[in-house]
């Protein structure tokens, strides 16, 4: 039996699926629809972790409530935030946990997982290697594609409901988006909202990028009178099925939403 990989969140499950394609399908701890910033571990989820052969999670910067359980596990654990080559983005005092939205980080996490997979499952070592090569080529092509897609939009101001796009903005040289909430997804204070409304108005931001889980009515009320296009980006890949191309699909879908948002009324 090949080892079972279990990932804490969907994006890491999709990344793992690119590597285990043709061998196994990675499991997922977090129930679809739950907020990874405010996880509470249910008994069934704890069991999934304990029954895994290899665990992949972002680390305490995101799934803090998993830390205690993960520390007690005896199988190999890939902590993405500590994987060799992963670069973390700091905004103010907060470390942005959405590190999978940088393809360079995604490669580094995949490389760390590849090593463990090959150690644990020598029989499929060459398949894992071939999958890794394929993923690398996919991400190369995707980088070029996204660069092309967004390069004429680099000076466009944009706003996001949740600060999940920092890595993406840095990698593809976009303007840093204005965020209604920080990268830990805590609700913004009233003063912050007022300041944001003013900034959005004065910089003529035309579009707000949001996530499927967010309440559009609440956002519209918060933005009180500002005319903005609201575009949804599924940064958690909730709607994507694990498979060889799933991780690339996640990024392509995010890029397309960002393009839509940055294009705005200027097209």
Chain residues in the site for Zn ion (CB under 5 A): 164
Question: Strand 94-96 vs strand 159-160: parallel, antiparallel, or unpaired?
Answer: unpaired
Distance, in Å, from the CA atom of 120 to the CA atom of 176, rounded to the nearest integer, reads: 41
Nearest distance from C-beta of residue 145 to Zn ion, angstroms: 24
Residue closest to 34 by CA, chosen among 55, 8, 60, 54:
8
Select the residue whose beta carbon is closest to Zn ion and give its number. 164
Q: State which residue, 58 or 116, has the beta carbon closest to Zn ion.
A: 58
Q: State which residue, 54 or 233, has the beta carbon closest to Zn ion.
A: 233
Q: State which residue, 183 or 249, has the beta carbon closest to Zn ion.
A: 183
Distance, in Å, from the CA atom of 136 to the CA atom of 142, rounded to the nearest integer, reads: 10
Nearest distance from C-beta of residue 209 to Zn ion, angstroms: 12
Distance, in Å, from the CA atom of 233 to the CA atom of 62, rounded to the nearest integer, reads: 19
Nearest distance from C-beta of residue 211 to Zn ion, angstroms: 7
Return phi, psi of residue 231, to 5°.
Answer: -115, 140
Nearest distance from C-beta of residue 96 to Zn ion, angstroms: 9
Q: State which residue, 45 or 182, has the beta carbon closest to Zn ion.
A: 182
Nearest distance from C-beta of residue 11 to Zn ion, angstroms: 10
Q: State which residue, 222 or 236, has the beta carbon closest to Zn ion.
A: 236
Other Cβ atoms within 10 Å of 252 Cβ, number: 16
Give the contacts of 238 (CB within 8 A, at least 6 positions apart).
Answer: 10, 32, 33, 212, 213
Helix (H) or strand (E) holding 27: strand 27-28
Helices first, then strands: H and E counts in the chain: 9, 10
Q: State which residue, 150 or 164, has the beta carbon closest to Zn ion.
A: 164
Nearest distance from C-beta of residue 69 to Zn ion, angstroms: 21
């Amino acid at each position: 039996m090949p080892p079972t990989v279990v990932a804490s969140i969907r994006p890491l499950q999709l990344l793992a699926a690119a590597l285990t394609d043709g061998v196994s399908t990675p499991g997922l701890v977090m129930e679809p629809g739950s907020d990874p910033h405010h996880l509470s571990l249910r008994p069934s989820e704890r069991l999934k972790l304990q029954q895994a052969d290899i665990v992949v999670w972002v680390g305490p910067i995101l799934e803090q409530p998993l830390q205690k359980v993960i520390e007690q596990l005896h199988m190999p654990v890939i902590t993405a935030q500590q994987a060799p080559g992963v670069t973390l983005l700091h905004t103010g005092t907060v470390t942005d946990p959405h590190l999978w939205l940088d393809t360079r980080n995604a490669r580094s996490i995949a490389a760390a997982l590849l090593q463990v997979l090959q150690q644990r499952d020598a029989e499929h070592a060459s398949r894992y290697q071939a999958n890794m090569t394929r993923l690398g080529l996919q991400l190369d092509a995707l980088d070029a594609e996204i660069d092309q897609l967004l390069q004429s939009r680099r000076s466009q101001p944009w706003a996001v409901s949740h600060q999940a796009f920092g890595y993406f903005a840095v990698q593809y040289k976009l303007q840093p988006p204005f965020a209604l909430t920080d990268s830990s997804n805590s609700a913004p204070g009233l003063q912050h909202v007022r300041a944001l409304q003013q900034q959005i108005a004065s910089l003529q931001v035309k579009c707000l990028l949001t996530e499927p889980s967010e309440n559009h009515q609440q956002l519209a009320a918060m933005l009180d009178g500002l005319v903005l296009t609201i575009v949804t980006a599924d940064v958690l890949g909730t709607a994507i099925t694990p498979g060889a191309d799933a991780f690339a699909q996640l990024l392509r879908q995010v890029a397309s939403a960002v393009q839509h948002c940055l294009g705005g009324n200027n097209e």
